[in-house]
Each structure stands twice: as C-alpha cells, then as structure tokens.
Structure 1
Amino acid sequence: MYLPLVVGVDGSEPSLRAVDWAADEAALHAVPLWVVFGDLWERYEGAALAREPGKPSTDMQADDILAAAAIRAGRRHPDLVVTTETVPDEAEHALICAGRNASMIVMGSRGRSGIADRLLGSVSRTVAAGSDCPVVVLRGNHDNRAIGGRNGRIVVGVGEVSASVLRLAFMEARLRQVPVAAVRAWRCPAHETIDHPLPAGEPARRYEERAARELEAALEDAPPDVAVRRYTVEGPARAVLPAASAEAGLLVIGRRTQGRLGRVAHAVLHRSACPVVVVPERT
C-alpha cells in the first residue's frame, strides 16, 4: 500500500471504533490515514452520536466529528499522519469517490441508526459493492484493533478468485506475522448421491478431491514466508466462510461484479464473526 487509507465517520460510536481499527491498519502499512465525513449522512441516520465529540447532537458540526476522530487516531498512533475532509455528498458516494485515490476503505457495519450491530447498514453494503479499492467492514468482535486481538489468522475464501484477493490476504498475514487459512468450499450435487451407480461415498470423494486440486492450484504462487493452511470444507461458501470467521482476525473475500455483491459476499458481510475485507477482482 502507498495510497492513504480512508475511514468513514459519522459521529457514531461504531464509526469511532472504526477509526481505532483504521489507525492500526494505516500504521501497520505505514500509510497516512484519511478521515472522511459525508455531510449528508445526518439526513439518513438518527441522533445517536458517540459521547466523545463532547457536544449535544443539535450542536454537532462536521468539524467537531472530524476533530474528535483525528484526536482519537493521534492518541493511538502519535506518528501517524492524519488528514480530515468533509465531502458534500451522501455517505456512500463520498466514500466510493475517496476510494478511487485510496489503498483501502474502513467502515463500521452500521452508523447512527440505533439498529443492532449484527445487521449490515445500507452504506456499508453499497460501498462494499461499488468501491474500486478493498473495503473493510468491521463485523464481529475485533476489540477495536486491527492486530493483537483474540484471533489472529487471516481466512481467505478460495473459489473463483483472482490473484488480487490472495495477494491481499498474504500481505496482511505477513505484516501481522500470522498464518493464512485458505478455505475452499465444495458441494456434491444431490442427484449424484442418489442416482449415481458408484458405491456410496464415491461421488462425494471425487468432488472433494477436485476441490483440493483447485485449492492447490490457486495457492501455487503462495509466498514462502507466509504459513498457509489448506481446508476443503463441504457445504455452500455462504455458510462455510462465516463459520471459519469465528477463529479469524480478518476474512478476505472477492467481489467480481462492480456495483453488486454476490450471494456469498452478501451472506458473509451479514454473518461474519470478524472484520471482512471485500476485494474487487481485476479482470
């Protein structure tokens, strides 16, 4: 990474926790932190501001929110270069535009909505679907830290992935000095288990072996300095990957279509137990 890392804020406590995580990530990569506030956010979200800005919601201005975020990041990493900007646009458009000149976007799963954190907000969903750069959505228990939390390994979903997805997973693992768990989900079509003339269990074994070969091929260029553990798991990827996230510090998945999340990405973002990074796949 050489471009700045963007974090979206709206004055809510989840967005300030995102600042903590983003500051760690920016320091880890030795890049500046760019704190962005879309000044139309308040039209959509409620008044559930975090206490840190120190003013009632009715008196809160964009500059107050940005200043609180910058101070928080600076306290966490005093040497980190932090810039702030108010963008006169809706939140999702502000962040997607900022992402065109950024290495990564970090955001909380919800803003000032008052709805349970386990649900994914519309801004997070839209940015993850439309950004030109990787987007981290802070799901699950991340302890407000990008590194050093309870779970450290990087899980990467290996399906029809491009090199950019694996490259990001390996880079994050190398910087954190943790292993990569490469997970390939596979399924045996139901009709083969019933009608196929081979002995019971044989069709399933064929599909598992094929998944293992595909996983090995995808990891052919894995860097030697990163420990990679390989897992082939029976079941749909939209269930297998959230289950794998329970023991991860970061879950990396790809996104093939600009402006739209596939079924797997959509399910993972709603159900993951750890932060998720959605990587746009380059064709």
Structure 2
Amino acid sequence: MQAHIGDQLVVPCPAALGGSVLVGLDGTGNSVPAVRWGAEEAAVRGLPLHLLHSWVSQPWPASCVPAEAERRGYGAEALGRAEAMVRDRHPGIAVTAEQVDEEAADALAERSGTATVLVLGSRGHERVSGFLLGSVSLRVLGRAECPVVTVREEESSVGPGPEVVVGVQETGAEGDAVLDYAFTTASAHRADLRAVRARAPRTDAAHALDTSEGAADEGELLSASVAPWREKFPDVEVIEQLVDGRAVPVLLAACSRAGLLVIGRRVRRAPMPLGPSVLAVLHHSRCPVAVVPRIA
C-alpha cells in the first residue's frame, strides 16, 4: 500500500510494523496526548512506534477544504512535529511515520492486525470529564484487531499511573484477552491491578437468603478468573473487588485512582460494532480506556 510523507513516496513493509505501538493522529491538539501516551508505551515495552496520518481524513470544515497539495503538506508537518516530539522524549525508540491516501479508519483498522496496541486521541468535554469520540474513532474501535486506547485531549499523564482497573465480567477463555492485556500493561508499568466484577443486586424477597451464598459464588468466579494471571505475573499487586450494581457505574466508580480502565468488546457484533456498555464507559470515563477485542 502506498503512502506519502510530503512529496516522498513510501511503501511500508507490513512485517516492519509487526508488534508496534500504532498511533493515529489528525494533526489537531487532541493528537498530542495520544502521541505522548503511545511513545511512553513503546519505550516501556521496548516496541517500535508507528505514527499514521490520513490526509484525506483531515478535519477541515466543509466550506474551506484546501487543495490536495496543501493537505499533504499539513499532514507532513503534523507527522514531523509528532516525530520530533517523540525523539526528544524517547531518543532510544524506533519511530516511523506514514501518511496515507485512504480513509483513516480503514488504514488504522488494517494495520491493527499486526500492531500490539493502537492509540487514538479524543476531544475532552468542557465540563464533564469524559470523551467525545468522532466517527473515525468509533469505526476503528469497532473493527480493530488489537487493543485500542483512547486518550482525552486534556490528558496529562503518559501511562496508566499507579493503578490499572480491569472489568472481569466474562470468565474462562472469553475473558483471557482482556486480562492478558491488563496484566501485561500493569507489569510493564509497575502498576497495581484492580480486578472488578459487578454483581447484579438481589432485590426480591425470594432471593434475600441467597445473597451471601451468591456473593461467595461470584467472588470465587472472580478469583478463579484472575488466578492464572496472578501466577503468570507474580510482580503485579492484585486487588479483587466484587461490587453489587450494574457493570458500567461499578467500573466507573472503581477508577478514582486509575490511570487506565481496561474493558472488552465482542467481535463480529451486528448491527452495532460497539455495545451500549462499551459506549457508556468510553463516554463517561475519567481516565484513558483500553478496549480489547474478545476473540472467544
């Protein structure tokens, strides 16, 4: 697939992008935290960083779209600034930049198949701490084959901080990809991991006596889900948390100290690629969110 950096034609080698941290940037301010986050992730994990910009998907108002040459020039400048920032902060990591002449969502979704993680920027709310996701981000989130981290425009941190929160609603093989990513990230950044499971509250009298027994069963499911990963990552301090309530508010409430919230999404979901719970978490989360495709 052909790509352009300024006037230079580049034909990227897919094998060269394998295992990279992929960052999609549109050249606006909301790209800067995503680039910083992606660079830190690449540095901590010892991975290459690949910056991608689509000149055909630039966010110009419909009334004043520049000519193609100007848009290519704008893209080249945006990539140049991002690459310079990365090299200044992390001179030791391998960085590549690519400008494509295809839709950003298509290019990012395709390259996600060989990436370790994809990082996207998001405009933050003015008064509500959360995300405003554009159509590109939503389309990529629904199609990406690797975990996707969304980072707010006003985000100042460059990593998951002292604690990673992971939602543990699926047990067994269905939840493995989510836990794998959460534990790997916590270990790489030397962060604690809070494994949170929401339990539907018992409200009817017929089940009132079963509350403690049900809580024990749910607690055992949570512990059993986390146990193999505790063994695989003995360096990670794990806090198991079982909370009565619906999954979305439980997860959001658990993120008071977190620098990253990790959730899963079903693949091949129709007609909506992202379920309402995923969308609600993305919209209201106070910290960056990693959405991991569940392959089981």
Q: TM-score, normalised by structure 1?
A: 0.84
**What is the 5 A alignment of 1:1-283?**
3-42=19-58, 44-46=59-61, 61-110=74-123, 118-139=131-152, 142-146=155-159, 151-160=161-170, 161-190=174-203, 193-194=204-205, 196=206, 201-221=208-228, 222=230, 223-258=233-268, 260-283=273-296
CA distance in 1, matches of 2:143, 2:25: 18
Whether contact under 8 Å (1:25, 1:146) holds in the other structure is yes
- Secondary structure, counterpart of 2:91 in structure 1: coil
CA distance in 2, matches of 1:157, 1:146: 18
What amino acid sits opposite 2:110 in the alignment?
A: C
The corresponding residue for 1:54 is none
What amino acid sits opposite 1:233 in the alignment?
A: V
Whether contact under 8 Å (1:140, 1:274) holds in the other structure is no
**Change in 2 beyond 3 A, CA 1:59/1:125:** closer
Q: TM-score, normalised by structure 2?
A: 0.81
Q: CA deviation at 1:110?
A: 3.5
**Change in 2 beyond 3 A, CA 1:115/1:241:** closer
Q: CA deviation at 1:82?
A: 0.8
Q: CA deviation at 1:140?
A: 8.3
**Identical counterparts, % of pairs:** 36
Whether contact under 8 Å (1:103, 1:134) holds in the other structure is yes
Whether contact under 8 Å (1:141, 1:273) holds in the other structure is no
Unaligned runs of 5+ in 1: 48-56
Whether contact under 8 Å (2:30, 2:152) holds in the other structure is no
Cα-to-partner distance string for 1:170-204 (whole Å, 9 max, x where unaligned): 111111112110000011354xx24x1x6xx4343
What amino acid sits opposite 2:222 in the alignment?
A: L
Whether contact under 8 Å (2:123, 2:153) holds in the other structure is no
Cα-to-partner distance string for 1:53-88 (whole Å, 9 max, x where unaligned): xxxx98952111111111111111111211000121
Aligned residue-pair number = 263
Cα-to-partner distance string for 1:180-232 (whole Å, 9 max, x where unaligned): 10000011354xx24x1x6xx43433332222111011012023221111000
- Secondary structure, counterpart of 2:131 in structure 1: coil
**Change in 2 beyond 3 A, CA 1:182/1:115:** closer
Q: CA deviation at 1:119?
A: 2.1
CA distance in 2, matches of 1:38, 1:59: 9
The corresponding residue for 1:50 is none
Q: CA deviation at 1:256?
A: 1.6
- Secondary structure, counterpart of 1:219 in structure 2: helix
Unaligned runs of 5+ in 2: 1-16, 63-69
CA distance in 2, matches of 1:46, 1:5: 30
Whether contact under 8 Å (1:140, 1:272) holds in the other structure is no
Cα-to-partner distance string for 1:129-162 (whole Å, 9 max, x where unaligned): 2100110011486414115xxx420111001142
